[in-house]
Amino acid sequence: MNGVIVIDKPAGKTSFDVVDEVRRTLGVRKAGHTGTLDPLATGVLPVCLNEATKLVPFLMGGWKVYRATLLLGVRTDTLDRDGQVERTCVPSVTPEEIAGALKKCVGRRPQQAPRYSALKFKGKALYRWARQGVAIDPPSRIVEIDELTIESIEGPYATFTVRCSKGTYIRSLCAEVGENLGCGACLYALRRLKTGPFDETLAVRLEDEAGAAGPERLRQGLIPLIDALPELTEIEVDASLAKRIRAGHQPKRGDWGEEDIPFLAPEDMIKFTLNRRALVAIGKVVPPPPASGETSGDAPFTKILRVFNP
């Protein structure tokens, strides 16, 4: 069984818990997710099975969409409501001030990862260092908040949706808003609505109303490899070329007629498919030969990055 199943992750479980449950329920050998959700969070968690685990690096970089609720006046060590409360106060801010602080988060900006997070430092997750009492100054990196829409502001709670880049911590965003308002804040609730090409309309619940995991329901939600990267340009190959690519052949321009190759720029990502039913490989377009060189069929076309077995 090869493909991606989008799980509607329940609150209270780690992403690893979900992946392990899917793997055991379906009896697959390999499984992995495309981006961690904290135990508090719910929503879209794509789980890649067997050959689809090779897709993980290509699926992690897409935009994410979240619905979040922040709680003003509460600071915790984990930056969310599950953490140890470090300080509380009664926030004295207006809805307009809260909205203004949230809107200021839009754009490219440095963000510091939470001390309790899965980000690695010297090969070990930050939360492991924190639990051992080792003070690590979390690294800062550039993230982008593309859109932020405020849904409601009621008392100390503010709910908003945000479209952001890979690596953005909504917990850190909430804490930063609280600091800018002078009262502190933490993440109260979080749901991932979309990651890359996968949204919650594709999501399957792990358990039915009776609380039992359903293998048949999971199988019905399986997204084939060929459909997992819809944004990539598709180039069809025949069985002979598919076999050669899977054996290590790097595609040349002479493998197709010129009319069969769509317009592509160097560094563009493409997927090679067999009979439009099976994913053969993912590659990256290489620059064409210099003007002074030959443009024969031996000129390189792509560098193969991943090969997928039938």
Q: Please identify every residue annotated as catalytic.
A: 38
169: closest CA among 127, 206, 128? Answer: 127
- DSSP output for the chain: --EEEEEEEPTT--HHHHHHHHHHHHT-S-EEESS---TT-EEEEEEEEGGGGGGHHHHTTS-EEEEEEEEETEEETTSBTTS-EEEE------HHHHHHHHHTT-EEEEEEPPSSSS-EETTEEHHHHHHTT------EEEEEEEEEEEEEEETTEEEEEEEE-TT--HHHHHHHHHHHHTS-EEEEEEEEEEETTEEGGG-EESB-TTS-B-HHHHHHTPBPGGGS-TTSEEEEE-HHHHHHHHTTPPPBGGGS-GGGS----TT-EEEEEETTTEEEEEEEEPPPPPTTS--STTSB-EEEEEE---
Q: What length is written for the chain?
A: 310
- At 36, the amino acid letter reads T
Question: Which residues, in sequence order, are bridge partners of residue 69?
Answer: 159, 189
Q: Are 190 and 70 in contact (CB under 8 A)?
A: no
